[in-house]
Every structure is written in structure tokens, then in C-alpha cells.
Structure 1
Amino acid sequence: MTFALPKWTLVIHGGAGSMTRDNLRAEEDQAARAALSAALDAGAFILRDGGAALDAVQAAVRVLEDDPHFNAGRGSVFTAEGRIECDAAIMSGSDLNAGAVAGVRATRNPIALAREVMDRSTHVFLAGAGADSFGRAHDIEAAEPEWFETAERRRQLDEILADPDLPFDSAMKYGTVGAVAVDADGHVAAATSTGGLTGKKWGRVGDSPLIGAGTYADDRAAAVSCTGAGEYFIRLGVAHEICARVRLGGWNIEDAADTLIAELGDMGGKGGVIVVSPDGSGGWAFNTRAMYRAMATHETAPEIAIYGDE
């Protein structure tokens, strides 16, 4: 008797930015690749066993949230006031169900909280102290502020505060994390998590937790997770727009992703996207020097890359 392996695809990212082989130390390069590999393994383990894309993207993102080399969960950037405020979103393509949180300060894994909002509330988006309170009420693991903080993020804040005119790119050494997947049943899902911008003020929220801007999944089209200059992704509705061009215009995901990133660039925005479709195709597009990224499928070896020429 012959047993067929489940068909699946998983794509993850750890942010797009100005990293080069010259400004990224060898140990940072190695640590980032190791974290991407661990996240890929966590999601692939679920998909390989016939599990759901939704569970796989959550598992992958959680690994990256726990790794201090990325701007999500532990290792998130500081606000101008010296706090850490995290955003996250998750979406299921099979039923368009979604959950999102913004400005959370006491939840260890924001992506777990977003999933709980999706599964156990009548709402889609919770913010601030209310979101953290919802997490405590539903036994989502909490964490003290010190758990999120790293010396490197504090140094970056000090640099920004000392020179408010510093170019945006200088604070994009690490960034938002995300995952998209399609499982053996052809269902897609997307998840995104971030600490936002270094030195952000006034409760600023970017695209990551906004369904349709930085995160979107639809079995009729694709799953998308974005990273970069959030204000531009919001204005273009990038994640939903990619899906709309696939679903309504008949585009393939590669052309849709490339075109939206080109349009983003025309507006002055920088960043990238990861995309996967129900047929199993997946990949990325970005207009920055580099993007932390990785992909695995049921039939290919893991691919892990950082720089634009990889």
C-alpha cells in the first residue's frame, strides 16, 4: 500500500529592511537564520502531520515572537515613552474569520492573544489594556515588561531620541514577523506580529494588526502577511488588494505581489510581502535591500534567505 504525503506550503518572514552583509554582523546573520529555521520547523511539523494552516502560522510566529532578534514579542522596539506595545493579527481563509490586537503590553505572545480573540470572542480587534485584560480572563500567558526588553532595542531608542531626524531606514534593522500557509485541505491562513516603529508616539498602530492592510487570508485567492512602512500598506490595503487581484482579476500571486510592492514604492513606501495560494504556490516580494524570509513545502527542502541577492 502506498501512502501519499500531505501537500502543504509554509512561508515566513522576519521583517524587511536595510540589512547588508556589511552592516549585519556574522553572529546576527547566523542567529536570524537559526530562528527562521526553528519557526519553519514549528509550522512544518503541524502541516506535515496533516494539521491546519491556521495552527501552523500561529506556531511559526510564536517562535519568532520569543526570539529577541526580531521586532515582535520579546525584542520588540520601544515607544518614545520607553514602553513596549505589541500588535498582532491572524486570519483563516476558509471562513474569513480573524482576530487582532494592538498596543498590548502584558501578553507574552500577542499572536496567541489574537487567536483567542478570533476563537473566543464576538469581536475582531481589541486594543490596549482591554486586550491584555481579555488575555488574562482567558488564561493567555502574561509577561512583565522586563521580559520584552533588550539592550539593543534600548540603544536604538536612545539613538532615535538623540537625533529625531534620523532616516526611517536606520531603525529597520529587524522587523515585523509573519507566516502564511496552505494545508493539505487547501485552506490558507496568515499571521503577523510586531512591536511597531522605534520611538512611535501617540498610540500609533501600523498595518500589521489591520485585517486587509498587513494581514489577510481567503481560500478563494491567497494568504498574505506584510512588513515595512505600515502607513503605506494601510493606504494601499496591500494584503487585501493582492487577494482581490487574484480572486477578481485572475492574476497569479507572483504578479499580484510584485505589482503591489511596485505601487508601494511609487508612493515612497518600503517593505515586503509573503504570499501563498490554495494551489500550493508561495513566495515573496520586497523593495528593500533585504528581507528575512524562509519557505518550505511538502516536496522541497527549506529555503532560508536574508539579502536581496539570495
Structure 2
Amino acid sequence: MTGNKISDNDFALAIHGGAGTILRSKMTREREADYHGGLRRALEAGRIVLADGGSALDAASAAVMALEDEPLFNAGRGAVYTSAGTQEMDAAVMDGRDRSAGAVAGICGPRNPVLAARAVMEHSGHVILIGESALQFCRRQGLAFEEPTYFYTEQRWNALQETLAIRESGADDQDESRKHGTVGAVARDRHGNLAAATSTGGMTAKSPGRVGDSPVIGAGTWADNETCAISATGHGEIFIRYAAAHEIASRMRYAGQSLEEAARAVVIDMLAPAGGSGGVIAVDQAGNVSLPFNCSGMYRGVVRGDGRLLTAIYDEPLIDFRNA
């Protein structure tokens, strides 16, 4: 999906709640409404910032915080479990104005990991902090922490048990919703600046210590005013190996491709044949938006200056769910 060039004082925000959605056959009307509602709340959180003249970075952060607070999505409160029954969260932010970036990996405790990533960007001389040292840094910055019970959801715990049982049986797990999940936001503000933010709980039953593409700048997160802002979701190892987000920006910069051409070429023609199931959300300096994915679906949404909160889950047009 692309948009026409927007006016200089307009804005664009796109979000995702992860690729690899619940299978249509298992999705109830009530559950579907819940997902659309969560996406709409995140869009509105970012829209308020942009409509008030706020920065793309603030808007992307606000949208991701809203998604992290939703137990439906695999980030923050809804993070999945490792094979050891623990939770390890990753997040990243990037500012397109000067390519400032911050990321955290393998943490559990901060209520909003995206704020931990932003603290690294704004209050340290580093790009990525991990594990206990990252947690100590977050405490020094005064970030809000939660007890482990806050991050527990029965759905995620049951998914871990099901995945472990499938592995024990030797069967092939066909449920994409257990294999990957992430949340993210990309924005173009009224000043023409771009930003991206991504947050994830990783893969259900992943090995403790595994880090995916979300906090890897150029793989799962990227922002540069001269090209685009990207947040990815999918099979992180493949996205890292192909530097997916940076590849899209490079195709725009050096090959002269449009945002839509570059994003689709990477997601459909490059990642899919390599086993890189997933998708991206992308916005360019002109406010064009692209949301390609190569799997069963991707929780996603877009809002512009007209205030319409458009969302979708499967291979379908974005809709105003209130009027659906």
C-alpha cells in the first residue's frame, strides 16, 4: 500500500503488531476486534503527537509504548517465553535526522523496552546495551520497572508449553504466530523528519540469549531522512543476514527505486526465497507508506493528517474498522 505525496505540513504514521498472525481458521470475531482495537489505540497515541506538531521520534515511541502495553502483542507486557521459561526483550529506536540510534537486548523489567532503547540513544555514548548492565543503566535513568507477574500472560505461557511439546514429538510447528512477533512504528512528522522504533519479546521457546533483528540497526530498524524509516518483523536471523532494513534504504539511495519498489523487492524477492518469513512497515520523506509481507498476515495500521485510523490483519485493504 502506498500513499500519494503529502503536503509539507502533513504527517504519516505506520505501525505493525507483528507478522505471522493467528490463522484465519482460529480467529474469532471478538479476537479480531480486539486486535483492531489495540492497533487503533497505538495509532491514536502516535497521531496525537504528530497532530500537535511533535517529532517523528516521539510519535513512533508513543505508538510502540501503546503496543508494548497491550498483552495481545509480542512485546513488553505480551512478550513470549524462552525455552527456559524466562522472558528476554529487545528494542531499538532510530532518528532519521542524524542517524542517532539506541537499542537494548535480553532484558526483562522495564515496563516499556522502547524507552530503554531511547535512553541508551539519548543518555549514553553507545548504541546497544544488553542484559544486566542494560538493566542497571535503566535503573539509573529512572525508568519504570514492573514485577515479573506484570509480564505474565496465560496465552504466552500456554504457547511455550505447546511449542515445547511439538518439539518433543518431532512434528513441524506450522503456527507462524509462535515463530515470530514484534511491534514497531515508523513516522514522518510535519517537519519532514523520519524515525523508527521496534520492540519484541523474540520467538516462542527461543534459546536464552538469542537476539533477533529488532535491536540490530540496519536489520530490523532503520531511519534516515534522505531515504526512509523501517521497522521489520519476521524471522530475525534471515533479516540480519540480509541487512533487510538497510537494503531497502540502499535500493532507494543508489538504485533510485521508490519506497514501494524497494520494500517489496526485499521482502518478496529477497527474504522470502531465503526463508525470511515476515514483513516491514516503511515510510519515506515524502510521506509514502509501504507495508509488504510474505506470510499469512501482518497486524498493521496507518494514520495521516485526516485522522482516519486504518488497520488490517490479513491480505486485505486497510479499513476504518469502526465502519467495517
CA contact (8 A) 1:90 1:191 kept: yes
CA contact (8 A) 1:5 1:48 kept: no
1:121 is aligned to: 124
- Post-superposition shift, 1:302? 2.1
CA contact (8 A) 2:220 2:232 kept: yes
Which residue of the other structure, out of 197, 206, 209, is the alignment partner of 2:203?
197
1:211 is aligned to: 217
CA contact (8 A) 1:223 1:277 kept: yes
CA contact (8 A) 1:10 1:40 kept: yes
Letter in 1 for 2:248: I
1:159 is aligned to: 162
Q: Cα 1:168–1:137, aligned 2, differ >3 Å: closer, same or farther?
A: farther
CA contact (8 A) 1:85 1:195 kept: yes
Instruction: Measure, in 2, the Cα distance between the counterparts of 1:219 and 1:133.
Output: 32
- Post-superposition shift, 1:106? 1.2
- Post-superposition shift, 1:168? 5.0
Which residue of the other structure, out of 278, 288, 302, is the alignment partner of 2:295?
288
Question: TM-score, with normalisation over the residues of structure 2?
Answer: 0.92
- Secondary structure at the residue paired with 2:285? coil
Instruction: Measure, in 1, the Cα distance between the counterparts of 2:33 and 2:212.
Output: 28
Instruction: Measure, in 1, the Cα distance between the counterparts of 2:142 and 2:214.
Output: 24
Instruction: Measure, in 2, the Cα distance between the counterparts of 1:197 and 1:73.
Output: 13
Instruction: Measure, in 2, the Cα distance between the counterparts of 1:44 and 1:58.
Output: 11
Which residue of the other structure, out of 166, 170, 175, is the alignment partner of 1:170?
175
Whether 1:268 and 2:275 are equivalent positions in the alignment is: yes
CA contact (8 A) 1:6 1:47 kept: no
- Secondary structure at the residue paired with 1:22? helix
Q: Deviations over 1:169-208 (max 9, x none)?
A: 4251572000000001111000000000000114100000
Instruction: Measure, in 1, the Cα distance between the counterparts of 2:200 and 2:237.
Output: 14
Whether 1:143 and 2:146 are equivalent positions in the alignment is: yes
Instruction: Measure, in 2, the Cα distance between the counterparts of 1:251 and 1:119.
Output: 32
- Secondary structure at the residue paired with 2:76? coil
Regions of 4+ moved over 3 Å = 165-169
Unaligned residue ranges in structure 2 (runs of 5+): 1-6, 318-324
Instruction: Measure, in 2, the Cα distance between the counterparts of 1:101 and 1:304.
Output: 28
- Post-superposition shift, 1:111? 0.1
Whether 1:60 and 2:63 are equivalent positions in the alignment is: yes
Unaligned residue ranges in structure 1 (runs of 5+): none
- Secondary structure at the residue paired with 2:57? helix
CA contact (8 A) 2:8 2:192 kept: no
Instruction: Measure, in 1, the Cα distance between the counterparts of 2:316 and 2:159.
Output: 27
The percentage of aligned residue pairs carrying the same residue is 47
- Post-superposition shift, 1:75? 1.1
Instruction: Measure, in 2, the Cα distance between the counterparts of 1:212 and 1:140.
Output: 26
Letter in 1 for 2:243: G
Letter in 2 for 1:270: S
Shifted more, 167-176 versus 137-146: the winner is 167-176
Letter in 1 for 2:232: C
CA contact (8 A) 1:72 1:177 kept: yes
1:38 is aligned to: 41
Instruction: Measure, in 1, the Cα distance between the counterparts of 2:232 and 2:173.
Output: 17
Which residue of the other structure, out of 165, 178, 181, is the alignment partner of 2:187?
181
